[in-house]
Structure 1
Amino acid sequence: MFEYHGWITLRSTAEALDDEPPLRLGEIEALVDESADYALMDLQPMNGTYYIHLGGNPNRRGQHGRAVIDLFAEVGRLAPGSYGLLYVYDNEDPEHMLSFRVHRLVRGTVTEHADHLLSPVIPTLEDADMS
């Protein structure tokens, strides 16, 4: 299982004020459209700012899982002032099979971090299988 939930606040640069320089919205929309085939994903404006929200739960990480993480990196390249978080739980990752990982987008760079709020999955979220 590969579960993920995330959001990105879109900003063209860290200094961006009043849409200057303009957001590369067409390119970002194309990225979202490419990734929306097996996911909850939307790009919406609110109060003058655009946001991406995403979530999904495919059976396996496969190519889709890598694409979701790559989406964060590509948004960072197109809009380096953007910021957001992506929580990922991949129970087939041998190094992290019982924990969430957090991918953080800040100033165009995506970094991966340990999660301490939902991890370890057992016993934080689930009981151990006693059968």
Structure 2
Amino acid sequence: MFEYHGWVTVQSSTGDENDSESEAARTAAAAVLQALQSAPGLAEIRTVNGVNQIHIAGCSNHKGSQGDQVIEVFADIGRVAPGSYGILYVRDDEDSSGRENEFQVTVMRRGAVSSWRDELLSPCIPVIEDDE
């Protein structure tokens, strides 16, 4: 199973933005997000109280190319809107690097992404599931 949940606050910079900068960041991020529109799951951008927000989530039987695409799109949003921040949680029970029993966390800060070990929901067995 490949499961993912993520959010991004989209910003063109880390300082105060004017309306045109905010709209340019939204447009660029929406274009990147378009790559996930045909995938099963959630991929949406909304403006809430003047703040551009992206939410992505989904679950499939295997990671496949869609899983790689989710991770790439998350990073690409940071490249086109370098003031953005957010989190992507991924669980891949077929991970070959030994992380099949844990969530993997990708954090975006100032548009740059880094990977972290999850300590809140992992190890999945026994923290959130039983071994049956």
TM-score of the alignment, normalized to the shorter chain, above 0.5: yes
CA-CA distance at 1:32 after TM superposition: 1.7
Unaligned stretches of 5+ in structure 2? none
Corresponding residue number in structure 1 for 2:30: 29
Corresponding residue number in structure 1 for 2:82: 80
Kindly indicate whether the alpha-carbon contact (under 8 Å) linking 1:3 and 1:57 is maintained by their aligned counterparts in 2. yes
CA-CA distance at 1:51 after TM superposition: 0.4
Amino acid corresponding to residue 2 of structure 1 in structure 2: F
Aligned partners of 2:115 and 2:106: how far apart in 1? 4
User: Equivalences for 1:41-60 in 2 at 5 Å?
Assistant: 41-60=43-62
Percent sequence identity over matched residues? Answer: 40
Aligned partners of 1:17 and 1:119: how far apart in 2? 37
SS of structure 1 residue aligned to 2:19: coil
Kindly indicate whether the alpha-carbon contact (under 8 Å) linking 2:2 and 2:90 is maintained by their aligned counterparts in 1. yes
User: Equivalences for 1:86-101 in 2 at 5 Å?
Assistant: 86-94=88-96, 95-101=98-104
Aligned partners of 1:69 and 1:102: how far apart in 2? 11
Q: Cα 1:21–1:27, aligned 2, differ >3 Å: closer, same or farther? A: closer
CA-CA distance at 1:20 after TM superposition: 5.8
CA RMSD, Structure 1 to Structure 2 (Å): 1.3
Unaligned stretches of 5+ in structure 1? none
Count of matched residue pairs? 129
The TM-score normalised by the length of structure 2 is: 0.91
CA-CA distance at 1:27 after TM superposition: 2.8
Kindly indicate whether the alpha-carbon contact (under 8 Å) linking 1:16 and 1:81 is maintained by their aligned counterparts in 2. no
The TM-score normalised by the length of structure 1 is: 0.92
Aligned partners of 1:64 and 1:16: how far apart in 2? 35
Aligned partners of 2:54 and 2:20: how far apart in 1? 20
